[in-house]
A and B are shown apart, each in its own frame.
Chain A
């Protein structure tokens, strides 16, 4: 079993609070991804779990054992660094065998363990090579092999595929995920790339400026973001935002005024109710809608907003068209056959079942 609990973790570097009161529980066998922009505190958090850093406040428990003050070497975790740190003078075999030899394991058992790891990682054919002869991808597999043989309770990976080519990163993401399905050990993975986080995590832990923003499954953080940061950070491209203010229409219904283009749009009854229930009628709000939930038409339609095409990006299986709404930009996802001209006037509306509303001041989600 390998559960990890982080309780009220604070870590400072001088006056900088790198990790600010983090509480997190990771279940046995879970693949959890810590994701956020550079400087958000994810690597510091990982290093605290490993023992390479000691938190200034708070506790770290592995399987309910308080390991906060235990040395890294005594925590039964294996750390895979971004820059593989392979021993240049040892062969691939030697690199992978090293932790086992250090433990005093017999040559025979060492051989068995290394072969098992090499089989899983498909690196049997390079066991005799030295690191300088290997490609980036192979080196990374060796680094993983060195971690796997230790059969640790927990794998900790710090942006291990960041330095690889984009195409290769994609392959390795699938391989790492498959590896987790096959080996089934608790894994904590750090990345700044939300696509990586979404494609690999059982749950995703989103951080910004040292503060935990949201924890959830990829589905949850995508469809129910807790605040503006998460809504924009997750998704390629992120959620569109338009400033709005609730206003009472002639029938007494609540609608949303969009100051950017001096128009009011209708909103479904449930959303009206929620805004009222949460006492946000007088507040400055933000309307959020994902690019795939923006409806697009070249002909003027009722309830549609007039916009101008700013730029079109063809992605192969879909297109992203940027349109200008006043001085705001809205991204629209369409089928690849939709190719408007730059400068063309087009009309958009939002799928009412799929809009989100946030409080502009706090950034928190309302609907």
Chain B
């Protein structure tokens, strides 16, 4: 049974189509991530599921029930906003209790107490229960916001960029905690973000959204290793994938202004034959470019190190050859310095080819 289903969902604001005919199915207990740049339509999609917006076309299904006409309160979804919206002069306990005190629930005091204790335990905020929320750190407030959503044991947990206001280090910690929380609670999570690291770390499946349209849905592995179009290839992966103009000539790939000639692996040659002479885009991830101080492969080419970024566990090299600029990930022991000459080769088996006009995978 799909926990959430969006069918031909569309929402416009004046002339802007924020959500453009979206179809999505999220499985029960899945951690589903909607990933896209600011303005892509992610928050609008979330608000449509919650019932905070009404669609212009299409349906929202929760379970197998169409909820288009149900108010947010009756949809049994919990929403964690980017800005926690906690009640500032209530204690943490009071904030957590609040949803349980609604007349719709009719819980006894001892039931409420038990639920609050359980949730506080899961989120490690037991020691904060008596504190007013104005006196909490960002990370603590965010846990309370999540706690306030968890107490309701909703069908679906909607989260709108909940980590974006936290310091980078705390975001890292919270990512693991959220992933673990999801495993422990077993709720369906629908999580929205612009940060592809969050999507890759936590998602069971990711839908990449741009300009209101879904470009690809898949597991982190599928999205990363088999991007269906240039946008997805660029958006996921850090450092960003390298993109070059290319065309096929016999069994080679000519890259840039005839700057590079790469041999196409034997297994791919026949399927690529029909694209000869077409304008293509070659995509290769920085970790799939080999760099060494001497020429090792037949296909390796000489380039200059333009600048380096030392990340500790690895270095990012910005390499130049004529009109082409490449980013390569290399082990720190390579010790490449600005101005050095190095030899790079592209692992063609890990490369991707897209049609230059449609931006779609060949």
* Given known contacts A38-B167, A181-B307, A238-B169, A342 and B183 CB-to-CB distance under 8 angstroms: yes
Q: How far is the CA of A270 from the CA of B311 in the complex (A)?
A: 27
Complex CA distance for A37 and B171, rounded to whole angstroms: 12
Task: State whether A236 touches B236 (Cβ < 8 A).
Answer: no
Please tell me if the beta carbons of B176 and A234 are within 8 angstroms of each other in the complex: no
> When the two chains form their complex, are residues A166 and B197 in contact, meaning their CB atoms are under 8 A apart?
yes
A219, closest chain B residue (CB): B310
Shortest CB-to-CB span from A166 to chain B, Å, is 4
Interface check B230, CB cutoff 8 A: no
* Least distance between B183 CB and chain A CB atoms (Å): 6
- B345 interface hit (Cβ, 8 Å): no
- Alpha-carbon distance A292/B238, docked complex (angstroms): 18
Chain A CB within 8 A of B239 CB: yes
Question: Closest CB of chain A to B278's CB: distance in Å?
Answer: 28
How far is A174 from B316 in the complex, measured between Cα atoms in Å? Answer: 10
Residues on B with beta carbons closer than 8 Å to the beta carbon of A316: 200, 220, 224-225, 236-238, 285
A194 to B194, CA, bound (A): 19
Asked if B167 and A171 sit within 8 Å, CB to CB, the answer is: no
* Minimum Cβ distance to chain B for residue A182 (Å): 10
Most buried by A among B200, B225, B285: B200
Interface of chain B residues 198 through 248 with chain A (CB within 8 A): 200-202, 220-221, 224-225, 234-240
Q: Is the CB of A235 within 8 A of B312?
A: yes
Within 8 A of B (CB), among A165-181: 165-168, 170-171, 173-174, 177-178, 181
Q: Is the CB of B168 within 8 A of A193?
A: yes
When chains A and B are docked, how far (Å) is the Cα of A173 from the Cα of B310?
13
- Bound Cα distance from A339 to B316, whole angstroms: 26
Given known contacts A167-B194, A167-B196, A167-B235, is B179 in contact with A313 (CB within 8 Å)? yes
Closest to A290 in B: B313
Evaluate contact between A192 and B168: CB separation under 8 angstroms. Answer: yes
Whether A177 contacts B312 by the Cβ 8 Å rule is no
- Residue of chain A at shortest CB distance from B38: A165
Can you name the residue of chain A whose Cβ is closest to the Cβ of B311? Answer: A198
Query: A307-318: contact bitstring with B at CB < 8 Å (1 yes, 0 no)?
Result: 000110111110
A241 at the interface (CB under 8 A from B): no
Per-residue 0/1 for A51-87: is the Cβ within 8 Å of any B Cβ (1 yes, 0 no)? 0000000000000000000000000000000000000
B313: A residues at CB distance < 8 A: 222, 235, 290, 292, 333
* CB–CB B200/A314 < 8 A: yes
How far is A322 from B202 in the complex, measured between Cα atoms in Å?
13
The verdict on B172 contacting chain A, using a C-beta distance below 8 Å, is: yes
Q: B332 at the A/B interface (Cβ < 8 Å)?
A: yes
Whole-angstrom distance between the Cβ of B215 and the nearest chain A Cβ: 14
- Check: B318 CB closer than 8 A to any chain A CB: yes
Does A114 sit within 8 A of B, measured CB to CB?
Answer: no
Please measure, in the bound complex, the distance between the C-alpha atom of A311 and the C-alpha atom of B182, giving whole angstroms: 10
- Among A195, A217, A292, A313, the residue within 8 A (CB) of B176 is A313
CB atoms of B180 and A310 under 8 A apart: yes
Contact of B154 with A by CB under 8 A: no
Instruction: Select from chain A the residue with minimum beta-carbon distance to B235.
Output: A167
Asked if B195 lies at the interface with its beta carbon under 8 angstroms from chain A, I say yes
Interface members, chain A 245-267 (any B CB < 8 Å) = none
Which residue among B138, B237, B306, B313 has the maximum number of chain A CB atoms within 10 Å of its CB? Answer: B313
**A315 close to B240 (CB less than 8 A):** no
Expressed in whole angstroms, the Cα–Cα distance for A237 and B237 within the complex equals 17
Cross-interface CB contact of A315 among B37, B200, B285, B309, cutoff 8 Å? B200
Q: Report whether A311 and B176 are in contact in the complex, using a CB–CB cutoff of 8 Å.
A: yes
Q: Which residues from chain B contact A236 at a C-beta distance below 8 Å? A: 172
Minimum CB–CB distance from B287 to chain A (whole Å) comes to 4
Question: Chain A, interface size: which category?
Answer: 35 or more
Residue of A at shortest CB range from B234? Answer: A167
Please provide the chain B residues from 304 to 323 with a CB less than 8 Å away from any CB of chain A in the complex.
306-307, 309-313, 316, 318
Tell me how far the C-beta of B32 lies from the nearest C-beta in chain A, rounded to whole angstroms.
15
Q: Are B221 and A311 in contact (CB under 8 A)?
A: no
Tell yes or no: B115 within 8 A of A by CB.
no
Question: Are B309 and A178 in contact, with the CB atoms below 8 A?
Answer: no
Q: For A37, what are the chain B residues with a Cβ–Cβ distance below 8 Å?
A: 167, 169-170
Complex interface residues of chain A between 189 and 203 (CB less than 8 A to chain B): 192-196, 198-200
Residues of A within 8 A of B179 (CB): 311, 313
Shortest Cβ distance from residue A24 to the other chain B in the assembled complex, whole angstroms: 20
Known A192-B167, A193-B168, A313-B175; judge A167-B310 contact (CB<8 A): no
A166-B194, A314-B201, A317-B287 given; A198·B172 CB < 8 A: no
| Nearest-neighbor residue (CB-CB) of A316 within chain B | B224
Of the candidates B168, B316, B318, the one having the most CB atoms from chain A within 10 angstroms of its own CB is B168
CB contacts (< 8 Å) of B307 on chain A: these are: 177-178, 181
Check A174 against B172 for contact (C-beta < 8 Å).
no
Across-interface contacts of B172 in A (CB, < 8 A)? 236-238
Q: Does A155 contact B (CB under 8 A)?
A: no
Bound-state Cα–Cα, A104 to B82, Å: 46
**Contact call B312/A219, Cβ cutoff below 8 A:** yes
Q: Is the CB of A222 within 8 A of B194?
A: no
Is A131 engaged at the interface, CB distance under 8 Å to the other chain?
no
C-alpha gap A174/B240 in the complex (Å): 11
B329 contacts chain A at the CB level, 8 A cutoff: yes
Flag whether A160 is at the interface (Cβ < 8 A): no
Task: Indicate if the CB atoms of A313 and B194 lie closer than 8 Å.
Answer: no
CA distance A177 to B318 in the complex (A): 11
For residue B200, which residues in chain A have a CB less than 8 angstroms away from its CB? 313-316
In the complex, the answer to whether B240 meets A171 with C-beta atoms within 8 Å is: yes
Q: Which residues of A contact B239 (CB under 8 A)?
A: 170
Contact surface of B with A, Cβ cutoff 8 Å? 37-38, 138, 167-170, 172, 175-176, 179-180, 183, 194-197, 200-202, 220-221, 224-225, 234-240, 285, 287, 306-307, 309-313, 316, 318, 329, 332, 338
Known: A218-B310, A316-B236. 15 other contacts (CB 8 A): A166-B197, A178-B307, A192-B168, A193-B168, A196-B168, A198-B312, A199-B311, A219-B310, A290-B313, A311-B179, A313-B200, A314-B200, A314-B221, A316-B237, A317-B329
| Shortest Cβ-Cβ A-B pairs, 5 listed | A222-B312, A218-B310, A193-B168, A166-B195, A316-B224
A-B contact pairs, 25 of them (CB 8 A): A37-B169, A136-B38, A165-B194, A166-B196, A167-B37, A167-B235, A174-B318, A178-B306, A178-B318, A181-B306, A192-B167, A192-B168, A193-B167, A194-B168, A218-B311, A222-B312, A236-B172, A313-B175, A313-B201, A313-B202, A314-B200, A314-B201, A315-B197, A317-B285, A322-B176
